[in-house]
Structure 1
Amino acid sequence: MDYRQAGVDVEAGRAFVRRIREMVASTHRPEVMGGIGGFSGLFQLPTGYREPVLVSGTDGVGTKLKLAHQCDRHDTVGIDLVAMCVNDVLTCGAEPLFFLDYLATGKLDEDQLAAVVASITDGCKQAGCALLGGETAEMPGFYLPGEYDLAGFCVGIVEKSQILDGSQVQIGDVAIALPSSGIHSNGFSLVRKIVDQAGLELSESLPELGKASLGEVLLTPTRIYVAPVLAALRSGLPIHGMAHITGGGLPENLPRGLGSGQSVRVDPTSWTIPPIFTWLESAGAVARAEMFNTFNMGVGFVVLVPGDRAEATCRFFQAQSVAAWPLGEVIAGQGEVLIE
């Protein structure tokens, strides 16, 4: 018996690495040293920092992958993977430098996983970070046929004196919302249950969701906020804090960008909740409070600025073709998000 008979094709793995080599190289920044295929990736710190601080983040795509498998569509989940990591790193003011992925499957399907890696490289290009390396693990008997799992890891850099940790936020600051592209990559266990109980096929189109199929709408990749937010920081806009609105929605994530003794009063009439969320709320008979505690509800990222700079901040993002609006105000409190 040999390794191939046990379910692991070493030659196929080598061929896969050769296939993705150019994809990976297309994301490289000047600081990358060497290529892929070694035991580790090398990255030289950028110049121009007096007290550079490295910032790290890791995440996955979650059960959204189940829908990708059901739809047999694999060209978006890599963007989700990158986005969930780089958007987190961004919240303290850091620029993402490089990214590593972990891809595990029962049996290596070269075309399928090449599409996944292509979407990871797409995400890295959007974030301006290098895909420095990764791991592809073939684990027969561990995953169902045709299924795979993803995890990612990102490292960024920020000047020590410019770290945003909530201490700069002041009472009276305004929360500026940047829109999500959809559900992003959180709450899909509930999404899948609602779709299943509704007896719907992912190939179906629903009038309230437009012409795209339900599967296409649900697989819309997570928006990456790195380019516009870094541009805002470098423009000199006085951003005091930031929050990436992920699992737990506004109530859980917005307080993570605040200082002590602070809360945020959110105006729910300041934006129109996207149709996918109102459909989920109706189809699943989900309480509005539970919707806000599970999903981003159309708000993917928040920046906190002084009240007298709120209008200028919105104009700045709008000039970059990113919608932005005043979401609410920082008030005295104990970390609550009051949606009223």
Structure 2
Amino acid sequence: QPDDVAIGIASSGFRSNGYSLIRKVVFEIAGLKIDDRVSECNEKTVGELLLEPTQLYAQPIRSVLRHYRVKQVVHGIAHITGGGLEENLARIVPPSIQIQIERGSWEIPSVFGWLQKLGSIEQAEMDRVFNMGVGMVLVVSPHFVDSIMHQLREHGMQPWKIGYATAADDGSDRVVVS
């Protein structure tokens, strides 16, 4: 609905997406080894970066949905996987709505910048292949944003207000990242 707010929830790194590109850049192009340390990422090893456990969202999302069962203030949920924010959010947005995402409104983990620099990967490709630090998005009523973000934090999640919904003409992009 117009004026809804997009709440992004932090991811735990690459998760399961982009490993063909990662393998090519890290091992074939850069020639790194699994136990090489990456200074841009707090001296973690390549192996530690690639095997970062996946953040699970089921418990916190269920909690939010249960809390607002009657009011139904969550109007959409998108799991951000391959295809990034644009493709995954577009799947849940009706043609009459556009979600405007504000780049810079969330923290992008250093591992993405390291990989981008290492492989000279264009931003559009990074955005298409990876979640860029946002693993899940809730599109919610603006009146409940603070409460929902508080609940997510109570479950150990890092939420950010990353965008908002506006009315759109049919045929316009459903998601715009700027």
TM-score, normalised on structure 2? 0.91
- Write out per-residue CA displacement over residues 33-59 of structure 1, whole angstroms, 9 at most, x where no aligned residue: xxxxxxxxxxxxxxxxxxxxxxxxxxx
Tell whether the 8 Å contact from 1:258 to 1:335 is kept in structure 2 after alignment.
no
Tell whether the 8 Å contact from 1:261 to 1:335 is kept in structure 2 after alignment.
no
1:63 aligned partner? none
Identify the structure with bigger relative contact order (alpha carbons < 8 Å, sequence gap 6+): 2
1:183 aligned partner? 14
| Partner SS, residue 176 of structure 1 | strand
1:205 aligned partner? 37
What is the letter of the counterpart of residue 287 of structure 1? E
Question: Displacement of 1:259 after TM fit?
Answer: 1.9
2:59 pairs, out of 208, 227, 230, with 227
- Write out per-residue CA displacement over residues 62-118 of structure 1, whole angstroms, 9 at most, x where no aligned residue: xxxxxxxxxxxxxxxxxxxxxxxxxxxxxxxxxxxxxxxxxxxxxxxxxxxxxxxxx
Name the Cα RMSD after superposition: 1.3
Tell whether the 8 Å contact from 2:10 to 2:135 is kept in structure 1 after alignment.
yes
- Write out per-residue CA displacement over residues 113-163 of structure 1, whole angstroms, 9 at most, x where no aligned residue: xxxxxxxxxxxxxxxxxxxxxxxxxxxxxxxxxxxxxxxxxxxxxxxxxxx
TM-score, normalised on structure 1? 0.49
Question: Displacement of 1:219 after TM fit?
Answer: 1.3
How many residue pairs match? The answer is 171
Question: Max radius of gyration: which structure?
Answer: 1
Question: Displacement of 1:330 after TM fit?
Answer: 1.2
Q: In structure 1, what is the Cα distance between the partners aligned to 2:73 and 2:144? A: 8
Structure 1 gap segments, 5+ residues each? 1-169
2:158 aligned partner? 323
2:24 pairs, out of 188, 193, 198, with 193
Is structure 2 residue 133 aligned with structure 1 residue 298? yes
- Write out per-residue CA displacement over residues 294-331 of structure 1, whole angstroms, 9 at most, x where no aligned residue: 10000000011011211221111112221111010112
Map 1:119-134 → 2, pairs under 5 A: none
Question: Displacement of 1:336 after TM fit?
Answer: 3.1
What is the letter of the counterpart of residue 337 of structure 1? V
Q: In structure 1, what is the Cα distance between the partners aligned to 2:73 and 2:175? A: 22
**Percent of aligned pairs with the same residue?**
39
Structure 2 gap segments, 5+ residues each? none
Map 1:128-167 → 2, pairs under 5 A: none
